[in-house]
Structure 1
Amino acid sequence: MESSLVLEKYAEKNRFYREITEKILSGKTLNFEEALRLYQEGDFYFLGTLANVVKENLHQKRYYYTINRHINYTNVCTTNCKFCGYHKKPGEKGGYTYQVEEIIETLKSTPELKEVHIVGGVNPELPYEYYVELIRKVRENFPSLRIRAFTCVEIDWLSKISKKPVEEVLTELKQAGLNSLPGGGAEVFSERLHKELYPKKIGYQRWLEIAKTAHRLGIPTNATLLFGHLETDEEIINHLLTLREAQEETKGFYCFIPLAFIPEGNELSYLPGPSALKILKTIAISRIILSNFPHIKAYWVFLGVKLAQIALLWGADHFHGTVIEEKISQSMRKDTVVHLSKEEIERLIQEIGGEPVEI
């Protein structure tokens, strides 16, 4: 049955569904109470259908991916987030840092690469010059490669160690060849969770300040939400509405990535992690609320390939990419798939009736 007919049937039976559908399809946004009620009480199929309609209004049957590679240049980090099983303390066994030339050689070994995604940790052993040189060398060796590097958390750290304002740091990185920032480090926009789970990391106000500064400099960024741990539904909705408001101001966010918490290998391993139902509902409500974000990503590295494929029918339009190597999730969950071929991604998209679009 066509999505529009499904929504009509729900609207005929339920006044709330009718009001929500009319509001969303007329281009209006939900307020906090409406969004929370829809997330908590909304029929699962209605939620997914509405999110898919919003997605198709933006992108029709197109689904996006890129040929990319992740570079996690270091796992040494001092923030000690309770949900992270990737980091090592300075001097701890298993810690590593790649030299710039090692990274260049790794990228040279990857054919047809369109984008590199570079993130690491807050490593006190690395000087500011390392980061600028890394971007400059990547750009010199790969003139047309999109360089998406360093989260807002890392940018804050670079500002501290260089004693330069964030604007100057971002300007220097852009001049060296940086194209955009990834969305990591946002976690949940909640002071309660900030104090409890990652007190050494920057809070959400600082994260937003850095993202907005990047936008003003013409550097687009992504945004994330880490969910499925100790957050409340109210905190999820607040996070999404805060991002929507920021996007209205700067229009600099490119993609939103709901990251499903991985419970293995960290201090929160006593938690079960989010169910498939929770994951799909969160992706759907994200698409519905963040209608001013161009893309919602089904990040298959965290979701798993099969669930990420279903997420493409629940409001997501971006399947990320080939990845090739991603150490953060791999360090926490040993059975994680960390590479998909272009052909496999296109097959997964075509199976759901979509048109694969390489970007």
Structure 2
Amino acid sequence: MSNVDGILQKSLAGGRIDVEECITLFESDQIEKMGHTANLIMQKWHPDPITTFVIGRNINYTNICDVYCKFCAFYRPPGSSEGYILPDETIFNKIQETIDVGGTEILMQGGTNPDLPFSYYTNLLREIKKRFTITMHSFSPAEIMKMKDVSGGLSLQEIVRELRDAGLDSLPGGGAEILDDRTRRKISRLKGSWRDWIEVMQTAHKLGMHTTGTMVIGFGESMEERALHLLRIRDAQDDVKLQKLNTPGFLAFIPWTFQPDNTNLKADKVKPEEYLKTLAISRIMLDNIPNFQSSWVTMGPEIGKQTLQYGCNDFGSTMIEENVVSAAGTTYKVNITSTLKLIREAGKIPAQRNTKYQTLRMFEDESEVITNDFVMQN
């Protein structure tokens, strides 16, 4: 029996793999075997042949950012003539358009804009909640740390509590990239340490909010750094149970690949096989996170369909709008009808969910579609 076989058998038996075993998997080319194991583990969590998706929209309220990540093609520095802050009415119109096609989730993110006071965010959330019944799954840890910087002395816990009380429902996992400071200093030295990212998420968990975790590969990180990233996510999720917090913690994990086009960081694009391997290993390593999302935005719909055999139970968001990945030259488009078709082609039953992964609507009849369809707008 090879080392890989032993590690996979251990994980299937409910054993927890360590960092060295995780590195062994990353260094292996037995991708299909890992995918099979990840799929079996996914089925323990989700025995029914259902793949969920959420109808949501990314709203990038500003592109002004003072972190200057080398891998980002979306941001503009403060003072740039191409910088913007969306008017509130524009944001409200985008939310209404989302609701009109059955959308339930807004992922609002932007740059770390030093010119926006903390009150901008709380006032905007309150105005949104006055007007709409919609889940605000918004603001990355980096944005929240910037809010802390401009708040005039509020603690991180006070910042997150005020955001929650104003209408923020959950935190997305953006900005994790690789949770190791060697790579973080290389690609984004002003963004903060991996501990900063974890601290924001743990603060949200302590306040009863749920979050998602992410990982981006393809920056030239080592296999050890990838393994440590997964370990740090797993440890933070363990803390939720140890502290008996009133939250599921990380409800989902989403790995994806760095898109180098139009950025200042030169690298080769990650091959689909490496992405699928990373997805499978993440499902195997993260034994305490129930949901895994496909990253069809960066990998394309056909690879997205394959992810449903590599540990994913969720197709992510059929995003009406996406600007950040598109700025790096990747513009895969999927509408709701295409989502239903791809999930069915993978042998699964599609189901619309909300941000909490509660099923809203099943699509068991293959002739059933959503009439208010759209194509992702950039």
Asked if these proteins are the same fold (TM beyond 0.5), I'd say yes
Match of 2:81 among 62, 68, 93: 93
1:3 corresponds in structure 2 to none
Relative to total residues, which structure has the larger helix share, 1 or 2?
1
Residue 50 (1) aligns with residue 60 (2): no
Residue 212 (1) aligns with residue 179 (2): no
1:66-113 deviation per Cα after TM superposition (whole angstroms, max 9, x unaligned): 111110111110100111111001121321110222101121123112
Match of 1:337 among 332, 335, 339: 332
1:264-294 deviation per Cα after TM superposition (whole angstroms, max 9, x unaligned): 01112x3112111111100110011112111
2:57 corresponds in structure 1 to 69
1:134-174 deviation per Cα after TM superposition (whole angstroms, max 9, x unaligned): 2112211112x111010111111111111211111111111
Match of 2:340 among 328, 336, 346: 346
Distance in 2 between residues matched to 1:306 and 1:95, nearest whole Å: 35
CA deviation after TM superposition for structure 1 residue 187, in Å: 1.2
Residue 173 (1) aligns with residue 163 (2): yes
Residue 120 (1) aligns with residue 117 (2): no
1:1-359 matches, within 5 Å, as 14-41=1-28, 43-60=30-47, 61-110=49-98, 111=100, 112-143=102-133, 145-162=134-151, 163-250=153-240, 251-268=248-265, 270-333=266-329, 336-338=331-333, 340-359=334-353
Distance in 2 between residues matched to 1:305 and 1:18, nearest whole Å: 30
Q: 1:229·1:274 contact (CA, 8 Å) conserved in 2?
A: no
2:375 corresponds in structure 1 to none
Query: Which amino acid is 1:121 matched to?
Result: G
CA deviation after TM superposition for structure 1 residue 133, in Å: 1.5
| Distance change in 2, residues 1:18/1:225 (3 Å) | closer
Please state whether the residue corresponding to 2:309 is helix, strand or coil: coil
1:179-209 deviation per Cα after TM superposition (whole angstroms, max 9, x unaligned): 1001001111111112211111111101111
Q: 2:255·2:278 contact (CA, 8 Å) conserved in 1?
A: yes
Please state whether the residue corresponding to 1:149 is helix, strand or coil: coil
Q: 1:75·1:95 contact (CA, 8 Å) conserved in 2?
A: yes
Distance in 2 between residues matched to 1:28 and 1:355, nearest whole Å: 30
Distance in 1 between residues matched to 2:220 and 2:54, nearest whole Å: 32
Task: Please report the RMSD computed on the Cα atoms of aligned residues, expressed in angstroms.
Answer: 1.4
Query: Which amino acid is 1:156 matched to?
Result: M
Pick which of 221-230 and 278-287 moved more. 221-230
TM-score norm. by structure 2 comes to 0.87
CA deviation after TM superposition for structure 1 residue 343, in Å: 2.1
For structure 1, the residue ranges without an aligned partner over 5 or more in a row are 1-13
Please state whether the residue corresponding to 2:171 is helix, strand or coil: coil
Pick which of 118-127 and 18-27 moved more. 18-27
Q: 2:54·2:316 contact (CA, 8 Å) conserved in 1?
A: yes
Q: 2:140·2:171 contact (CA, 8 Å) conserved in 1?
A: yes
1:15-74 deviation per Cα after TM superposition (whole angstroms, max 9, x unaligned): 534432332122221011111112212511111100111111111322110111110111
Q: 2:114·2:146 contact (CA, 8 Å) conserved in 1?
A: no
Distance in 2 between residues matched to 1:22 and 1:282, nearest whole Å: 18
TM-score norm. by structure 1 comes to 0.92
1:7 corresponds in structure 2 to none
Distance in 1 between residues matched to 2:311 and 2:29, nearest whole Å: 15
For structure 2, the residue ranges without an aligned partner over 5 or more in a row are 241-247, 354-378
CA deviation after TM superposition for structure 1 residue 127, in Å: 1.6
CA deviation after TM superposition for structure 1 residue 349, in Å: 0.6
CA deviation after TM superposition for structure 1 residue 337, in Å: 2.5
CA deviation after TM superposition for structure 1 residue 308, in Å: 1.4
